[in-house]
Structure 1
Amino acid sequence: MSKRISTFFQPLPSKKLKPDATTTAQSSSSSTTTVPPKPSTYTHHPSYPIPIRDPPSTIATPLLSNPAPRPPKALTDHPHLDLLYFQPFLPSPLARDLFQFLRNELPFYRVRYTIRRGGTETSINTPRYTTVFGVDDTSTFVIENSESTSSNSETSVQDDTTNNLLDPPPANSPILVDSKTRTPLTESKSKSKYRCRPRPIPPCLDILRQAVEKATDDGTRYNFVLVNYYATGDDSISYHSDDERFLGQNPTIASLSLGAGRDFLLKHKPGAAGGTTDTDRAIANAAAKPLKFPLKSGDMLIMRGETQSNWLHSVPKRKGLQGSAGALGRINITFRRAVVPGGTENYYRYNVGDGEVYRWRDEEGKMVATTEKFMIML
């Protein structure tokens, strides 16, 4: 009997969790035997460079409920602007725990790539750590012989199929199939469609994806999760808009902040020169005076409608912010929906690439390159 992918992607409590104090006291008073906490479980997949730990119930359970302490504020008072601003989306204790968990457990990359400017080839070093999971609408991940997909599965807190860290990958790992025909994309077919190797969204991010979708309850669905880690105030991202064709018309993009606070700037793209209408003047003013959002841990900004096609956004450098053990870095998680294979290629090229895998090391208070080089590009 086939299993739903939601059964495969299920979290269990971390081995770091302690039994409830009251329960422990009662059990110890009547018996010398205590129940140990459940061990951590890990999600394995051939496309992952490492097994990825499933979230403990202290994180999974509140995320599966409605975590937002208050409804969002709608911001539509500028030309072509359509925002939902959650202050916060996650309460402070949950945001703190999720930040530490994701920084410790996810594989990150410091992507290097080349571009051509005016006929000259330029090497670019991405000024932040990145990672990405998901696949565009034309493909999906399913458990073999199952009709369920990871992009719309509902994850619960129980599981009997995930593995311990040293266990081999399970035989029923999700496979990539064509969304319409459900035909498996074998290695040869996958290479003809993608140069990269798409990866299913792991439970620790898939539960969060579900929570974000439920927060707006407007039918928006995401099939990609991009994670940026800003280690210090020198890590940044310049002004840009996420208006690529592979996202479709008027895409919705949700952006969640965890860890250290950073400013998020928005400015309108330049309008027609010499415009004389009220709208022209409003656009010129919005282009000259950026909007600043001091995003704190747990805050979320959702950009909708015409925002991406008309506005630019950035996270500028910030002096005095360190990512050592004595201070927090910042994690930014964006949820998107790519509609064609070009989106998959773009996201894996610029957020994974073919370089070293980095992991957070508490002892050193920083990201450290692993000894093995994981080649994600086929």
Structure 2
Amino acid sequence: MSKRPRTLDSFFSPPPTKKSRVQEDGDSTQVAKGRSATSTESSKHSTYPFAVPHLPPEISDILNFAPSEEGRIINDQPDLDLLYFQPYIPKNIEKSLFEFLRSELFFYRVKYNIKRGPVETQINTPRYTTVFGVDDTSRFNENGEVVDAATGKPAVGKNAYTCKPRPLPQCLAMLKTLTENATGCTFNFALVNYYASGNDSISYHSDDERFLGSLPAIASFSLGAKRDFLLRHKKTPAGDPSESKPMKLPLASGDMILMRGKTQSCWEHSIPKRKGGEADKGRINITFRRNMTKAGTANYHRYNVGHGGVFKWDDRKREMVPWERN
């Protein structure tokens, strides 16, 4: 084992070169030379309901060779800028990675209220969600505490967080760094959605919140069941055909699509419902993004963690079930 000190903040430092073999956890970043995490290691933090095991060597060793294929540029529509990897995750581990993440991560089924005029409505999120990361204003110190990125002092008073940011576990942090290496982008957040069946969906939306900056880059991974990914241009004065004729990308397990440039400001995307077939086998979507502000961190926690109970995959029942501390 390496004797080098383990620190949380180091996983937000600049990533190594693309050809480096990377191993990360919520406490550290290491460039591994032929050494993989053992199955007994895990990522732990005070905000985690339970520890998340590190990726087993049979997955992490092969993942170091991602992307499996070079990305294909798609920019033949107005204001569209995509980089499409088919696949990004090597085919001989994409199923194992999907099953590992589904089994080992903790999820939430978030409910929240929105107001449309005088009417308040409760929204039940139509998928399982979880989120990790902290925005650019802060970092995690060696004790796992959130501190100011510049001063290293805890955020207190009006600068304090209204939620409890949590670092990326090793299984996501490793993939984040490899994605940064392949794309040249920098990320500090991971949002994970689990679509349990074809009834789980996400409606048309854009990830164009101000806390992501003016031209955000978002890397979106698919694992598990193939699902259609629809994109349509937002309304334009000229009424471009891309508004009414959505582009459809059949995202397969292991695929990754990088949305960048004006894509978020000018386009919307969705995962529509699908009945039966492969969609009912479950799908995980991981999006890496860079959040600039504390308000963004609070936003992600409200809509991806909320105040409900924790869910964990039950392999015997083959479904997500409420998790209770022993």
Bin of the TM-score, shorter chain as denominator length: 0.7 to 0.9
Q: Is the Cα contact below 8 Å between 2:228 and 2:251 reproduced in 1?
A: yes
**Structure 1 gap segments, 5+ residues each:** 15-39, 144-172, 273-279, 374-378
1:63-112 deviation digits (Å, cap 9, x = unpaired): 2x331222111011110000000000012221111101000000000000
Confirm whether residue 221 of structure 1 aligns to residue 246 of structure 2.
no
1:139–1:322 CA distance, 2 compared to 1 (3 A): same
SS at match of 1:95: helix
Question: In the alignment, does 2:181 pair up with 1:204?
Answer: no
Correspondent of 1:312 among 268, 272, 287? 268
User: What fraction of aligned residue pairs are identical, expressed as a percent?
Assistant: 51
Q: Is the 8 A contact 1:9 1:202 kept in 2?
A: no
CA drift of 1:372 comes to: 5.1
Structure 2 residue corresponding to 1:12, chosen from 34, 37, 46: 37
The whole-number CA distance in structure 2 between the counterparts of 1:321 and 1:121 is 36
Match of residue 287 from structure 1: 243
CA drift of 1:232 comes to 0.3
Match in the other structure for 2:294: 341
Letter in 2 for 1:293: L
DSSP-derived class of the 1:104 partner: helix
Structure 2 counterpart of 1:265, from 203, 211, 230: 230
Judged with a 3 Å threshold, the aligned counterparts in structure 2 of structure 1 residues 61 and 142 are, in CA distance, closer, same or farther, namely farther
| 2:193 counterpart letter in structure 1 | N
Deviation per CA, 1:132-173: give whole Å up to 9, x if none. 000100001121xxxxxxxxxxxxxxxxxxxxxxxxxxxxx4
Q: Higher strand share goes to which structure? A: 2
Q: Does 1:178 align with 2:148?
A: yes
- 1:183/1:316 Cα in 2 relative to 1: closer, same or farther (>3 Å)? same
Matched residues in 1 for 2:243 and 2:60: separation? 41
In the alignment, is residue 74 of structure 1 matched against residue 27 of structure 2?
no
Please tell me the residue identity of whatever aligns with 1:319.
K
- Distance (Å, rounded) in 2 between the aligned partners of 1:176 and 1:337: 17
2:195 to 227, 230, 235: 230
Deviation at 1:321, TM superposition (A): 4.1
| 1:79-98 equivalent positions in 2, closer than 5 A | 79-98=78-97
Give 1:287's aligned amino acid: E
Q: Distance in 2 between matches of 1:88 and 1:43?
A: 27
Q: How many equivalent pairs are there?
A: 301
Residues 13 and 58, structure 1, Cα contact 8 Å, conserved in 2: no
- Write the distance in 2 (CA, Å) between the matches of 1:251 and 1:330: 24
Cα RMSD between the aligned structures? Answer: 1.9
Work out whether residues 226 and 278 of structure 2, in 8 Å CA contact, stay in contact via their aligned partners in 1: no
Superposed structure 1 runs of 4+ greater than 6 Å apart: none
Distance 2:94 2:178 in 1: 13
Structure 2 residue matching 1:292: 3-state secondary structure: strand
- State the Cα distance separating 1:322 from its structure 2 match: 6.8
Distance 1:190 1:86, change over 3 A: farther
Q: Secondary structure at the match of 2:281?
A: coil
**Offset at 1:262?**
0.2
CA distance in 2, matches of 1:76, 1:291: 12
